[in-house]
């Protein structure tokens, strides 16, 4: 029996929501995407490590692209010693793209008429045979099921699983972008053609080249993207970092222009003290570093009746596995497959949950293991010893942002 055409409401018009819309439309369903932001989300600039599985998923929903055109290709990885010498290398070709590049590609495949901006979900009612979503602007939408693709602080999750909350992992990431042209020749030589690391005790700096602001990938016109993980205890160091210029305490991240100058100065001084010289230079020349608390989010269920959670709304892993985008897309693809295989909607969603929840949990567990040595607290001596195994240069190069089959 051919599957009936469903009307599917997707909340969140970012990576997970747009990809799910593409996958579900391909199965013949009508999809409406509701995004809280009033405008397109283009401005988010973070670097994204890609995997062959990510490209396979994008092809599965009919997107045409040449992987090499999506970003900067590197042949492998290296670790720098504290003095800036090359302490180890590993061949591992990868394409390093940006969040905005992937977003634009996905968005190009979704008809404008299916995208509704300025729609912040307030509530979803799961009624017999369908769902009704209520938005902050007073409008409502009815459908056969609702997909919560509304990210880390998901309103959908807040309603169906209020106890599932992000947990602070005990360390933060300083992130930044530097124009390659603003770096000295020796620093460009060390950093700009590799995925590179520097490993001070209990910390991790990594970097990779990404396209320039105009998408240029030619050497000299690219940018260097860095992420510096540092412990920050929840009771004192974290609140200090997240207290802004006006003394206002932010919760888990802080707008970059609100970071206090003395916090930035201390971070840059630490970079000179702790990091290989090319990294100290990159940090010093990054015009506006930004700061994020690292979190774990795990949900006990991805499906409840006719409501499901995908992407970061369901599971957020520490960034070390570099799987957030691939996982979000794989959730959408699995949902489309589950609905094609099972005519009863709640049963199809339960089947989706059974397939994807173990994968989400595996990604979280893997990322936790890779990042445990950076935690400021909460590890027993035995756990700390196990955690240290992931800090060796060979392990960091072999394990960071690598998509092993159990994570897909
Ligand atoms: C330091 C760091 C490095 C990372 N590196 C990588 C990497 O190398 N590779 C990788 O794959 N991933 C990486 N990630 C993770 C990746 O960016 C995310 O996993 C991915 O963007 C999640 O997509 P999403 O669509 O699920 O959520 P989001 O992108 O958070 O989107 C949620 C959307 O929902 C909207 N929304 C929220 N609330 C509502 C509401 N009430 N109503 C309507 N809309 C709403 C939001 O405006 C937003 O557009 C990294 C993350 C971090 C922090």
Secondary structure, 3-state, 186-222: HHHHHHCCCEEEECCCCCEEEEEEECCCCCCCCCCCC
pLDDT tier, 2 (very low <50, low <70, confident <90, very high otherwise): low
- The predicted pLDDT at position 214 comes to 82
Ligand 1 mean position to 15 CA, how many Å?
A: 7
As a CATH number, domain 76-94+167-294 is 3.30.9.60
Mean pLDDT of 307-326: 96
The pairing of strands 167-179 and 223-231 is antiparallel
Does ligand 1 have an atom closer than 6 angstroms to the CB of 211? no
- The predicted pLDDT at position 379 comes to 81
Tokens coding 145: 């099921």
Task: Give me the torsion for CA of 189, 194, 200, 201, rounded to 10°.
Answer: -160
Tokens coding 86: 């090359």
- The predicted pLDDT at position 3 comes to 66
In which order are the strands placed within the sheet that holds 290-296?
47-49, 86-98, 72-80, 195-198, 204-210, 223-231, 167-179, 290-296
pLDDT at 378 over 80: no
Does ligand 1 have an atom closer than 6 angstroms to the CB of 37? yes
What distance in Å separates the CA atoms of residue 135 and residue 114, rounded to the nearest whole number?
16
Cβ atoms of 71 and 96 within 8 Å: the answer is: yes
pLDDT at 228 over 60: yes
pLDDT at 76 over 80: yes
Question: What are the start and end residues of each CATH 3.30.9.60 domain in the chain?
Answer: 76-94+167-294
Closest atom of ligand 1 to CA, residue 401: 8
pLDDT at 42 over 80: no
Mean pLDDT of 71-98: 96
DSSP 272-302: HHHS-HHHHHHHHH-SS-EEEEEEEB--S-S
Category of 297 on φ-ψ map: left (φ > 0), alpha (ψ -120 to 50) or beta: beta
Mean pLDDT of 228-238: 96
Tokens coding 220: 């000299």
The pairing of strands 72-80 and 195-198 is parallel
- The predicted pLDDT at position 10 comes to 98
Residue closest by Cα to atom 22 of ligand 1: 312
pLDDT tier, 43 (very low <50, low <70, confident <90, very high otherwise): low
- The predicted pLDDT at position 213 comes to 82
Nearest to 52 by CA among 359, 337, 326: 326
Ligand 1 mean position to 127 CA, how many Å?
A: 29
| DSSP tag of 112 | G
What CATH superfamily classification does 7-65+101-166+296-370+403-407 receive? FAD/NAD(P)-binding domain (3.50.50.60)
What distance in Å separates the CA atoms of residue 305 and residue 160, rounded to the nearest whole number?
10
pLDDT tier, 120 (very low <50, low <70, confident <90, very high otherwise): very high
Question: What are the start and end residues of each CATH 3.50.50.60 domain in the chain?
Answer: 7-65+101-166+296-370+403-407
pLDDT at 377 over 80: no
Does ligand 1 have an atom closer than 6 angstroms to the CB of 324? yes
Does ligand 1 have an atom closer than 6 angstroms to the CB of 148? no
Does ligand 1 have an atom closer than 6 angstroms to the CB of 297? no
3-state SS class at 9 = strand
pLDDT at 363 over 70: yes
pLDDT at 272 over 70: yes
Residue closest by Cα to atom 15 of ligand 1: 324
- The predicted pLDDT at position 5 comes to 93
Does ligand 1 have an atom closer than 6 angstroms to the CB of 323? yes
Ligand 1 mean position to 77 CA, how many Å?
A: 26
Cβ burial 16-31 (10 Å sphere, 16+ → b, else e): bbbbbbbbbbebebeb
Does ligand 1 have an atom closer than 6 angstroms to the CB of 106? no
pLDDT tier, 128 (very low <50, low <70, confident <90, very high otherwise): confident
pLDDT at 1 over 60: no
pLDDT at 100 over 90: no
pLDDT at 286 over 80: yes
Cβ atoms within 10 Å, residue 120: 15
């Amino acid at each position: 029996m051919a599957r009936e055409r469903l009307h599917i409401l997707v909340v969140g018009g970012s990576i997970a929501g747009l990809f799910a819309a593409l996958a579900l439309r391909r199965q013949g369903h009508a999809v409406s995407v509701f995004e809280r932001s009033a405008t397109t989300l283009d401005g988010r600039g973070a670097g994204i490590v890609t995997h062959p599985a990510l490209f396979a998923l994008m092809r599965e929903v009919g997107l045409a692209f040449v992987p090499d055109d999506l970003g900067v290709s590197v042949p492998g990885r290296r670790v720098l010693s504290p003095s800036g010498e090359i302490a180890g290398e590993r061949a591992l070709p990868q394409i390093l793209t940006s969040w905005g590049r992937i977003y634009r590609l996905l968005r190009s495949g979704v008809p404008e008429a299916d995208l509704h901006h300025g729609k912040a979900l307030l509530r979803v009612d799961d009624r017999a045979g369908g769902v009704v979503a209520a938005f902050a602007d007073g409008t409502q939408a009815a459908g056969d099921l609702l997909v919560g693709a509304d990210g880390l602080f998901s309103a959908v999750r807040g309603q169906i699983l209020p106890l599932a909350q992000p947990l602070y992992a005990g360390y933060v990431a300083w992130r930044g972008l530097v124009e390659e042209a603003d770096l000295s020749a020796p620093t460009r030589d060390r950093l700009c053609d590799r995925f590179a690391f520097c490993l001070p005790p209990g910390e991790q700096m990594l970097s990779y080249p990404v396209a320039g602001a105009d998408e240029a990938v030619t050497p000299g016109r690219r940018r260097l993207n860095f992420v510096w993980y540092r412990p920050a205890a929840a009771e004192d160091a974290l609140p200090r970092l997240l207290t802004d210029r006006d003394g206002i305490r932010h919760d888990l991240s802080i707008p970059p222009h609100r970071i206090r100058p003395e916090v930035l100065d201390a971070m840059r001084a630490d970079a000179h003290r702790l990091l290989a010289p090319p990294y100290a230079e990159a940090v010093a020349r990054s015009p506006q570093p930004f700061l994020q608390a690292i979190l774990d989010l795990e949900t006990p269920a991805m499906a409840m009746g006719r409501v499901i959670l995908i992407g970061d709304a369901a599971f957020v892993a520490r960034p070390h596995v570099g799987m957030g985008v691939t996982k979000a897309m794989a959730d959408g693809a699995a949902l489309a497959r589950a609905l094609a295989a099972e005519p009863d909607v709640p049963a199809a969603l339960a089947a989706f949950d059974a397939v994807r929840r173990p994968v989400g949990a595996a990604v979280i567990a893997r990322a936790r293991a890779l990042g445990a040595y950076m935690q400021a607290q909460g590890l027993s001596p035995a756990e700390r010893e196990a955690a240290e195994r992931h800090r060796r240069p060979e392990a960091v190069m072999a394990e960071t942002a690598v998509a092993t089959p159990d994570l897909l």
